[in-house]
A and B are shown apart, each in its own frame.
Chain A
């Protein structure tokens, strides 16, 4: 286990360096923050721009800037935002909970829906319940998330006036963003649960469990589900990365004050420190989730744990 964790830690460091290096480099190719900052703000001399660059620290060679960033990362000081001068760590600390909350509510919605539905579809294979679940899943898969979000807003906020159209507030403000994310996740997950359940139900030990006289619910939810869990958790882990990407879009539509909104604005303003900070946090989260997935493997499957 110790070996495993050390390996994973080294891997995480490598991943974060590779991603931030790539992102920091790429964003610097897209434009000059000094110019962006004062677009339309009167006439600027080349001297003014140079002074701004110096103040922002973007006049130094790229590698030096990057090393400053890495040094800051170790001391948890990610610098200050180019726009507004607020510390980046503070901005992230404000936005992170909103994003995490939305992500976890969406995943929870999808797990609660997709596991029973997937199992139902597997056990009723070929019957009407299976057909219905599969058709609904296909419909869910076919919605682009921003379109679904817009439609929900039109219906529930504009027409019916039941739910707030945007912003983060009480419980009701979570419903539409979580449903939008949840529906799309559920649509894929149902199919996954169904497929891996069908495969598990073919196993000899399921026949043995039935031959013991166990009830169907024990057979399905105790003996089969735990064996399905490995492919499911693997996929949920991969999905998390996609989910964070999807959240950027959803946060924009619902004006959700999360990391997605922060990153989106930072790209527009060429706000390098904020963008670097957000990307680092996101990649750490993905690495972290995958680590959790690996640990979960061991908890679920003794064959992995005892190796």
Chain B
């Protein structure tokens, strides 16, 4: 008797895309090494890994776009149906790209050509592959925009990319990618640059459309939360190699490879601090000799001195930017970036400012650092207001308050050694006059942030992203400040590095009694490290309270929205994204049409919530 071993039809077992033993080289460096995986129709394979793991090169190789960047395919096959894409000519590839395999890129702000209308850019694909005429293509383009839930599609077709928000642009990109109903969609970090509430909406759209069209999807991301929400199957890449693959629930529940285990343990998870009064410095899992090892101690971060008088006190701060002026130089449009914001920071305390783009969180930081002038309101440091200080005293303030920026590479002078950069605040403020002593201090600082003194002679490009951020922290510490403003200082870093830097921040706080103003959009990171939290929306504080109050008993709708939009790094969790709809409004308004200023109500001691206007 012939009993079939596998009763599935042959068709179902045949993958849509199968990558076999792929190796890609740029010059002499191999960035993808012997990679194999396959994608079935209607399924999503997530490729995860940190920067430099070769995940983007894999996707560009599948499209054969890596050729234009000088890639050389050393070995392997990429089978799409029966065709080996690595053997196809660029001419053959052009009939596959955009038609059979489409791609969405990371940066929605730069993915659309700024000089053509949305309509023209979508129609271009339809006219090329589907041989449609201009008018038929326009009708279809409108339908595609409806499909990605963009309102007012007919009008939108005549608009230019710069008139759209990031989230809208990414929807246009999706519409464009899906124009010819591709069999396979490759999405390279499609939501990384978006705000969380927008990310949640885009992920929803992608999931629904995949179901409708039965596409296979390759989803490239570094965000384990997004993986948990989107993927059926996960491929983990590390240094160009696949270290592990499996069904998503398996990978999260039972990771095998040491790297995967390390990666998952460093992912900040929302809700991990529930029930804790204070933030905690947690031990880290790091790879040591190929084995995940737990290092460091657990310590309650009860450094905030609430009995002392506030170190920094911001009262009724308003900041406005004139956006458009008429012929006579009078402002007609204005951005009310910060509206009546008040808060205190105590010594040793971390206050987090969270919010999405346009919330004014960075403007507040910049105003405190005197990089930006306030329209009205008072900022007092150690009980003395800025306005009562002389110019020299205000200059001195820059020694007491230091700023750390998001992009460590852009904030270090590429032509100066890092030693020079770290010594600069010491020299500027004349803190140490003896050159040898300055040098000793620089070495000390480098060691303190986990680098070695030998690095002082090196230049920024010789460091990795995480090391550069450590250098920036060393520079911030150089003038022995009391307050550090960290503006998205962790956002550009890989999660494993992020976890290390969070611990470094906490250790420095415990040692020196530093206060932090921690500006971030990442709710999970904020939950891990802050004592108090202020939630901002369009320049106003919606809610402020202790971390526990804001995360466990959020009093404002916006806070709840923000929390529910964060992807949870747990594939078994029930998704609750129904309440998320809509764009973040533009903060630029006509003069005279200023937004209403909200008043606050103290619902619990120290827990303030904005009353709806």
Contact = CB atoms under 8 A, between A and B. Distances in A.
Interface of A: 3, 6-7, 203-205, 207-215, 223, 226-227, 300-303, 306
A213 B162 contact: no
24 contacts: A3-B326, A3-B327, A6-B327, A204-B107, A205-B110, A207-B105, A208-B112, A208-B113, A209-B113, A211-B65, A211-B102, A212-B124, A212-B176, A213-B93, A214-B124, A226-B115, A227-B115, A300-B115, A301-B114, A301-B115, A302-B162, A303-B160, A303-B162, A306-B163
Contact of B97 (A213, A227, A303, A306): A213
Count class of interface residues, chain B: 20 to 34
A1 to B, nearest CB: 12
A215 B94 contact: yes
Interface in B106-120: 106-107, 110-117
Contacts of B111: 204-205, 208
B95 interface: yes
A210 B173 CA distance: 14
B347 interface: no
A203 to B, nearest CB: 6
A303 B163 CA distance: 8
B115 A211 contact: no
Interface string B45-79: 00000000000000000010100100000000000
A210 B65 contact: yes
A303 B162 CA distance: 7
A213 B95 contact: yes
A120 B494 CA distance: 39
A11 to B, nearest CB: 13
A212 B68 CA distance: 15
B65 A223 contact: no
B333 to A, nearest CB: 11
Contacts of A301: 114-115
Contact of A212 (B107, B125, B163): B125
A212 B326 CA distance: 42
A213 B127 CA distance: 11
Interface string B336-358: 00000000000000000000000
Nearest to B160: A302
Contacts of A215: 94
A214 B94 contact: yes
B128 A214 contact: yes
B65 A213 contact: no
Given A3-B327, A212-B97, A213-B94, A205 B112 contact: yes
A226 B120 CA distance: 14
B561 interface: no
A224 to B, nearest CB: 9
Nearest to B162: A303
Contacts of B95: 213
B248 interface: no
B113 A223 contact: yes
B114 A227 contact: yes
Contacts of A7: 327
Contacts of B216: none
B56 to A, nearest CB: 11
Interface string B81-103: 00000000000011111110011
Nearest to B177: A211
